[in-house]
Amino acid sequence: LAEKMKKSPAEVIKKLMMLGVLATINQEIDVDTATILAQEFGFEVEVKVEQDVEALFMQEPEDDPADLQPRPCVVTVMGHVDHGKTSLLDAIRETNVTATEAGGITQHIGAYQVEHNNKKITFLDTPGHEAFTAMRARGAKVTDIAILVVAADDGVMPQTVEAINHAKAAGVPIIVAINKIDRPDANPDRVKQQLTEYGLVAEEWGGDTVMVPVSAKTRQGLEDLLEMILLVAEMQELKANPDRPARGTVIEAELDKGRGPVATVLVQNGTLSVGDNLVAGTTWARVRAMMDYKGRRVKKAGPSTPVEVLGFSEVPHAGDQFFVVPDEKTARQIAEKRANRKREEEFKAAMPRVSLDDLFNQIKEGQVKELRVIIKADVQGSAEALKQALERLSTEEVKVNIIHQGVGAITETDIMLASASNAIIIGFNVRPDVNARRVAEKEKVDIRLYRVIYDAIEDVKAAMSGLLEPEY
Ligand code: GDP
């Protein structure tokens, strides 16, 4: 701004201070402040709004109800370890390989589809609530129905309860598959009894939870289970609009030696086509090829379809949500912007913050060569006295640099200045206001409050020589 107005930065900062804004030379100021500031110098500000491409594509435009078509339901299998989740997923998959496809090996891509009564069901192939919850933590909602597998011989176990709670927290309807009913010690009624304690009451007992006795081993009851899944799905009236750019979620991803980054994605709305450009988390892709769960190349994937996608710039994370954008440049631009933002956040989190408690170690490790201090005091005289005394503590190794001193309470602006310049704040007969306290906590800025100048000096001296008693 100073450059544009052909003024020196010092002049601009001075004017800002007169307007009550404490700014450093490379600090951003908001539009309102800039406008007032420019007026002070006799300029008029023209505001140009830079379009945020990311925001433009992030929000999902509402679909016209007329464009919506039924879509297959997406199912996750959860339950206690060894109760048969994997066996059940395998049994369902194998049962549904039709004669013509027999011999065709199904690929493990993290999800598969089966057809029952001419209706498709999509199964997520990573059993367990950990995967489910990890995705949810990333904001992804992919599951329409949770199958809770409970072994009839073992009954409700700790992870059964966890799975129930996770499904409930996500608001996902539960169908109970009482498994291993082929076993002589199977006791389905005991399972039903136990589940009532967690609010799951079987339909035949007057409740509204569908419970199906099955055996992954003998394949008994699997048809019933699929039937019930379709029934519960029907009640949800699941719909999507296939005629729009795709969006969905990354289910699995890895770096393949021959093919580069490979991700299985679940299309949740729209249709994904070969040649599309998409953004997923901090990565982007120009879809080079797509494979279905049988390893067959496909050109298009509609709602609720899992496909393996080639063409990613890097390996995305499971749970990353993706959306298609018009061109490669936009995809790259959004992904890079997000990656930069993430790097900045990580850098900020990793940057060592000075604090008096740790000063000596940081000096020793060579991380700190200068102790920057902001002084706030109740009167100018005290601030000045403190400043001179502290500056005299400078040694060969560490210089004490008072970057700002002022009169009055410690404010948010002081904290931001301290955070930006990695300084500590010393308050003499003043306190931080509520806002400042909150921001200081977030920015991890060390604030020290004193009533006696001598104590402040002693503390800094002790900290510099590693003799400060830690504060609890
Ligand atoms: P997960 O840990 O929940 O995925 O459980 P698995 O699918 O790995 O199954 C654990 C064990 O139970 C394996 O030894 C399976 O062979 C066995 N099992 C799974 N389903 C059945 C079933 O329906 N009947 C019997 N008898 N054994 C089963």
- Please tell me the predicted confidence (pLDDT) of residue 435: 86
- Higher-pLDDT residue of 273 and 343 is 273
Question: Rounded CA gap, 331 and 99, in Å?
Answer: 42
> Ligand 1 atom 14: the closest Cα is on which residue?
82
Question: Which pLDDT does position 280 carry in this prediction?
Answer: 96
What's the rounded mean pLDDT across residues 377-397?
90
Q: What are phi and psi of 353, to 5 degrees?
A: -95, 135
Q: What DSSP designation does 271 have?
A: B
Distance from residue 29's CA to the centre of ligand 1 (Å): 62
Pocket around ligand 1 at a 6 A CB cut-off: 79, 81-87, 127, 179-180, 182-183, 215-217
CA distance 176 to 469: 59
ipTM above 0.85, yes or no: yes
Pocket test for ligand 1, best of 85, 86, 87 (most atoms within 8 A of CB): 87
**Listed residue (365, 376, 346) closest to 440, CA to CA:** 376
CB atoms < 10 A from the CB of 10, how many? 10
The yes-or-no verdict on residue 101 having pLDDT over 60 is: no
Where residue 362 falls among pLDDT bands split at 50, 70, 90? confident
Ligand 1 atom, smallest distance to 87 CA: 7
Mutate to test the pocket of ligand 1, among 78, 81, 82 (most ligand atoms within 8 A of CB): 82
Helix (H) / strand (E) element for 291: namely: strand 283-291
The closest-lying atom of ligand 1 relative to the alpha carbon of residue 127 is: 4
* Helical axes 9-18 vs 31-40, angle rounded to 10°: 100
Q: What pTM was estimated for this model as a whole?
A: 0.70
In percent, how much of the chain has pLDDT > 90?
A: 56
Amino acid at 241: N
Lowest mean pLDDT among 184-188, 345-349, 435-439, 467-471: 467-471
Binned at pLDDT 50, 70 and 90, residue 326 comes out as: very high
pLDDT in tens, 198-248: 999 999 999 999 999 999 999 999 999 999 999 999 999 999 999 999 999
CA of 442 to the centre of ligand 1 (A): 48
What pLDDT, in 10s, does the model give residues 364-380?
Answer: 777 778 888 999 999 98
Compute the average pLDDT of residues 339-352: 74
* Between 289 and 97, the higher pLDDT residue: 289
**Which conformational region is residue 289 in: left (phi greater than 0), alpha (psi within -120 to 50 degrees), or beta?**
beta
Q: How many angstroms separate the Cα of 436 from the Cα of each of 24, 59, 208, 415, 422?
A: 18, 33, 52, 6, 16
**Residue 471: exposed, middle, or buried by beta-carbon count in 10 A (0-12, 13-18, 19+)?**
exposed
Model pLDDT, residue 99: 43
pLDDT tens track for 43-59: 888 877 666 777 777 77
CA distance 39 to 29: 15
Query: Mean pLDDT: which of 34-48, 49-63, 284-298 is highest?
Result: 284-298
Displacement of CA 437 from its chain's centroid (Å): 26
Give dist(CA 377, CA 429) in Å, integer.
6
Average pLDDT on 5-21 reads 84
CA 217 – ligand 1 centroid, Å: 8
Q: What is the mean pLDDT of the chain?
A: 88
Give 138 or 378, the one with higher predicted confidence: 378
Cα gap 342→316, rounded to integer Å: 14
Please state, in angstroms and rounded to a whole number, the distance separating the CA atoms of residues 403 and 407: 14
Segment 141-178, tens digit of pLDDT: 899 999 999 999 999 999 999 899 889 888 999 999 99
